A and B are shown apart, each in its own frame.
Chain A
Amino acid sequence: MPSTPTRRQPERAMTAKTNATQPFADRLDAAAESLPGGGRPWLDRLRAEARAVYRETGLPGPKVEAWKYTNLNRLRRTGFAADAAPAAKVDTVPVGNALSIAAHQAVLVNGRFRPELSSLPEAGDGVEVMRFADALAREPSLLESRFGRIAPPAGMPLVALNTALATDGLVIRFRKGKTAEMPVHIVSIGAAAGEPVMFQPRLLVIVEEDAGGCILESHIGTGDGIYFSNGVAEIAVERGAMLRHYKLQNEHPSAFHLATAKAELAERAHYESFVLQVGGRLARNEIHAHIGGRRVECRLAGAYLLRGEQHVDNTTFIDHAAPESVSRELYKGVLDGTARGVFQGKILVRRDAQKTDGHQLNKALLLSRGAEIDSKPELEIYADDVKCSHGATAGELDDDALFYLQSRGIDEDTARGLLVDAFVGEAIEQIAHEASRTAFRQVVEGWLAEGRSKNQRDGDSEA
């Protein structure tokens, strides 16, 4: 975790040589001219810092401890088009890939907001959704105190890259004391046809004091080209506020998806995150939750269902910097084909965070020969009056359970499906918002059905 300031200052983000050949470094200056809000000193300074950080470190290599298991060489080798203009035309939101749920909808295509595809909340809904440029004009101080402050570029090369290049983004604000009834659903569509494209979705969420709300993200793709989505989300959950934040990563099978979310949790804040990753060729979702006030409740859950040659990484970091808080984490992975899953979860309990109660669990199911799971749960604890634990398991389906089902007349494929479903179900159960839970369950069922029909096809061709 390069950005973790611990007492001993472990490994700094590797001292990579300042190197002009770093991918994307050549486009930093050109982009600087055209970004919205240029001329504001704080924003110019922030972007200059971001460019400097990225120039110095570039894409993290495998020698950086936090990237030990996820190698970005494939991304490094791909040449991306200079401009993020959509290469594939998108006139409607493709159905079937995104979460299906009744919600306010904000649609981004290749990182750019598309008002004609969106249906934003109205005044009185308790939540506002603004385009980055509009927010900058209407509420400059709101952005100045948050944007690039919750997720500063220092030590985080991908955040730096996003900060230096993001041309658009969304600002979502839940108003003080109000609970928004309807969730906000952000649909980010990657659309590439010929040349590979890259884009930098950017999100800032502010949940004001005692407010409550739910945000869903669907990351999907259309067209046949390769694209690279490098998203950053900054989240502030203020005193006594509650945020449910659910994400579906269902990118195109050839896509690169790297995303970093940083959440600042104030006193009595409640943050609930769920991430389901099923798509992408190479994907990593990184969540940093900073517990800055007493009696915070932070729940992170997720599932990753992979097949083929997918490589998907879930990295989480919970930083207990204040006492009496609770964190819970549960991730479940199912790996088929020659897929590779990575889970890295760290809990840091700082000196003052007495009475912390932290628990983390990662379980992975390997369904086939050739699949691989790399798991690195980590505890770093400097306070003595705490209760922290973590667990990790890896294995195949329980033979006894399989036998039990078969002995009751259920065929092997169905039995396997049931067991996998139950295995993933435990993670899905963590989603407190009912309609969202149903939407995610549908995606899981779709994934399982795809596997069954694939098995059938394989079986037919063997016979």
Chain B
Amino acid sequence: MAATAKTIEQVKSIGGKYKFGFVTDIDLDFAPKGLSEDIVRFISAKKDEPEWLLEWRLKAYGHWLEMPEPKWAKVSFPPIDYQDSFYYAAPKSKDDAPKSLADIDPKLLETYAKLGIPLQEQEILAGVAVDAVFDSVSVATTYKGKLEEKGIIFCSISEAVREHPELVRKYLGSVVPYGDNKHACLNSAVYTDGSFVYIPKGVRCPMELSTYFRINAENTGQFERTLIIADEGSYVSYLEGCTAPMRDENQLHAAVVELIALDDAEIKYSTVQNWYPGDEEGKGGIYNFVTKRGACRGRNSKISWTQVETGSAITWKYPSCILEGDNSVGEFYSVAITNNRQQADTGTKMIHLGKNTRSTIIAKGIAAGRSDSTYRGQVKILPKAEGARNYTQCDSLLIGGDCGAHTVPYIESRNPSARVEHEATTSKIGEDQLFYCRQRGLSDEEAVALIVNGFCREVLQQLPMEFAVEAQKLVGISLEGSVG
């Protein structure tokens, strides 16, 4: 229980500082604005990291300098000024935070009310500077005790670097190498924190693990790094994010998630992403540039991604599976909803290497307002993937005449015994469906929410139950103002 005690102690000590002029203390934790080798060294030093990790960060930084921005996605935005942000601690400075819920955008509060989120939780989500942080940490740490009994490691990645360096060193960057793409490079160079999960052999994780509590407790933000390892025969279900919108002014979120499933292991990773999407005119909002990839290293392993993407001004995200082990399975279930000026370019990659590997892709895109939603996905069957199977279904729904929905699949097969099937459709909500709902007393908005929920059902039912209920409400909320 050493780790638990330590966390509580840490939080206590911070809590104490809050009372006595925390502003100056936090000031000390500021890295200067901008990005340079010194900042990378600063972050590493702050976290007391071993030499190998610093070297790794520096290599990533060197790569980042030379790498071009990925240009192939169907999104447009002004060039990012990397020198104009803080890379350590600054963005969520407590003195910028609203002092009470009265200072929060009433629209945000309305959304919370619709999702039925308790008041105290609302304060946390909106980033109100209260000591509530302490509560959620204690909740998180209670779970932690239970998990430790089973030998499950669930902690921040910084803590894992200190406590389990052998595991981190072995797996960090093994699925998403630091030079993978520009955003992953940046993350590798400057990530401040994130989650680490290790499920030992044969253990079935007794509860859904979630970053939700952890993030609020440890104030990681922009550059998260998540590493999940499921050892032989183990199972874990991991939830990321939460259904309520996060009040967050950070422009760029470049997270990296790496999953590793060994023999007979299964990882289920669910995301509900509802970052600030910008206003109706497309001002502000988060750039969500995320690299997520899972490796089915072992035989009969399985990785399943489920995502509901409703937030962010721009989403650039392709949770992928590398199916190395024979008989391994990859799944991708996605709902991407864009409204107003949002742009989403999202999809997956299924790389079949092993024999009898199977993958399923179900992607639903809903575009409303003046938004653009793109599915971009690759299915690649390599010559040794004897008997591989893939089934892909992408459906798009357009609401209103000013949005766009696009499907860009890449299907590459190099094995005759593999079977690959891809289907895509684009349509609108039928007038008759709407009429039917209205006739039964539903308002336009309720009708659209109901129909869209039906459209997304295959994906939403993949979510863990408590999540699914909120996600359904969220579908309706994200489409508000798109009809009538």
Contacts and interface: CB of A to CB of B under 8 A. Distances in A.
Interface of A: 7-8, 10-11, 65, 351, 354, 364, 366-396
B411 A65 contact: no
Nearest to B386: A369
Interface string B402-426: 1111111111111111111111111
Given A377-B409, A383-B398, 9 more contacts: A65-B72, A377-B422, A377-B424, A378-B408, A380-B404, A387-B427, A389-B426, A393-B420, A395-B419
Contact of B408 (A351, A364, A372, A376): A376
A364 B413 contact: yes
B396 interface: yes
Contacts of A368: 416
Contacts of A366: 413, 415-416, 418
Q: Closest 4 interchain pairs by CB?
A: A366-B416, A384-B398, A395-B419, A394-B413
Contacts of A387: 425-427
B427 A393 contact: no
A373 to B, nearest CB: 5
Contact of A381 (B399, B405, B417): B405
A78 B61 CA distance: 42
B74 A8 contact: yes
Given A11-B72, A384-B401, A395 B411 contact: no
Given A11-B71, A392-B422, A380 B427 contact: no
Given A381-B426, A384-B401, A373 B412 contact: yes
Contact of A393 (B400, B408, B421): B421
B383 A374 contact: no
Contacts of A383: 398, 401
B411 A392 contact: yes
B146 interface: no
A382 B404 contact: yes
A373 B413 contact: yes
B428 interface: yes
Nearest to B391: A393
A396 B417 contact: yes
B76 interface: yes
Interface in B54-104: 71-72, 74, 76
B416 A367 contact: yes
Contact of B383 (A369, A376, A381, A391): A369
B181 to A, nearest CB: 16
A342 B71 CA distance: 23
Contacts of B401: 351, 354, 383-385
B415 A375 contact: no
Interface residues of B, number: 39
Contacts of A354: 401
Contacts of B71: 11
A384 B403 contact: yes
A364 B381 CA distance: 14
Contacts of A364: 413
B384 to A, nearest CB: 10
A309 to B, nearest CB: 15
B351 to A, nearest CB: 14
What DSSP secondary structure best describes chain B's contact surface?
Answer: strand
A391 B424 contact: yes
B149 to A, nearest CB: 48
A31 B402 CA distance: 48
A64 to B, nearest CB: 11
Nearest to B378: A376
Which of A351, A367, A370, A394 has most chain B Cβ within 10 Å?
A: A394
A385 B413 CA distance: 34
B23 to A, nearest CB: 44
14 contacts: A364-B413, A371-B416, A375-B412, A376-B408, A376-B411, A377-B411, A379-B424, A379-B426, A391-B422, A391-B423, A394-B420, A395-B418, A395-B420, A396-B417
A374 B411 contact: yes
Greatest chain A CB density within 10 A among B403, B411, B416, B428 is at B416
Contacts of B402: 351
A385 B402 CA distance: 11
Given A366-B415, A396-B416, A389 B424 contact: yes
Contacts of B372: 8
Contacts of B421: 391-393
A374 B422 CA distance: 13
Interface string B106-138: 000000000000000000000000000000000
B412 to A, nearest CB: 5
Nearest to B413: A394
A388 B420 CA distance: 21
B428 A375 contact: no
B452 to A, nearest CB: 14
B337 to A, nearest CB: 15
Nearest to A346: B408
B28 to A, nearest CB: 44
Contacts of A386: 398, 426-428
Contacts of B410: 374-376
A394 B425 contact: no
Nearest to B410: A376
Contacts of A8: 74, 76, 372
B419 A381 contact: no
A376 B410 CA distance: 5
A389 B408 contact: no
Contacts of A380: 404, 406
A380 B34 CA distance: 38
A355 to B, nearest CB: 11
A368 B383 CA distance: 11
Nearest to A349: B426
A351 B400 CA distance: 11
A394 B424 contact: no
Contacts of A395: 413, 416, 418-420
Contact of B407 (A351, A372, A379, A382): A379
A384 B409 contact: no
A394 B403 contact: no
Contact of B74 (A10, A370, A388): A10
Given A351-B401, A384-B428, A394 B418 contact: yes
Nearest to A364: B413
B416 A384 contact: no
Interface string B374-400: 000000010100000000000010111
Contacts of B407: 377-379, 390
Nearest to A343: B411
Contacts of B420: 392-395
Nearest to A369: B416
A10 B417 CA distance: 36
B407 to A, nearest CB: 4
B425 A392 contact: no
Contacts of A374: 410-413
B416 A389 contact: no
A367 B408 CA distance: 26
A7 B404 CA distance: 10
Interface in B413-448: 413-428
